[in-house]
Structure 1
């Protein structure tokens, strides 16, 4: 099948020379995704709102890769403030409640102080697609 690169066309991807996602055979590797609304490049200052926007962005990227959130097998959450993570649990259950991927949470600084969470996923597309 080979490798396919997926881009949103954002300045971030151009400046840092990366793809929003890389599809290799049935695997989809989605880059760390933040809570920016790519339509108007706005970002909420609320971690829960950012979490939802991250997952909307990831869902849209997976669809471009012909995959779904239910295909996600691994997720990494990165937050500058670890105490914010529990606030995100309802949103995480909403999007990953059925898939229940393997997960890791890391506390680390992000590229912009406005960013309160970054989420990276790996998906394995169903053989039935």
Structure 2
């Protein structure tokens, strides 16, 4: 069984997809970018600004699924330019605690944004 996650606290995007899906014990967060949840417009001109908003969007989707960033086990990162890698990382590390999630980071042809991130989280055990 699967259930869609929906929150006004993150961008809803503009395609035929859910912000996130709960399936079994996992939450799958769709690719998020630096889009303002209210206007849907791109926010920020630097990789740091765009990374922060992108991760806040993910954080809010996870919150709607009753998870936190500590529950994230895998992240896929798409950067418009790998030249931004170090600057991206300076913001990324502020959102996660050890152990850091497994991660893939690649350069991708992104339209009008510098970063897109998707994530997989494991739902916390409510019995512990």
Describe how 1:1-129 pairs up with structure 2 within 5 A. Answer: 2-8=1-7, 10=12, 12=14, 16-42=15-41, 43-110=43-110, 112-113=111-112, 115-128=113-126
Flag structure 2 segments of 5+ consecutive residues without an equivalent.
none
The alignment partner of 1:70 has SS state of helix
Deviation at 1:31, TM superposition (A): 0.6
CA shift in 2, pair 1:92/1:29, >3 Å:
same
8 Å Cα contact 1:73/1:99 also seen in 2: no
Structure 1: 4+ residue segments shifted above 6 A: none
State how many pairs are aligned: 123
8 Å Cα contact 1:34/1:119 also seen in 2: yes
CA-based RMSD:
1.6
The alignment partner of 1:123 has SS state of strand
Deviation at 1:106, TM superposition (A): 1.0
TM-score, normalised with respect to structure 1: 0.87
TM-score, normalised with respect to structure 2: 0.88
The alignment partner of 1:38 has SS state of coil
Deviation at 1:122, TM superposition (A): 0.3
In structure 1, C-alpha distance between the alignment counterparts of 2:20 and 2:66, rounded to whole Å:
12
Flag structure 1 segments of 5+ consecutive residues without an equivalent.
none
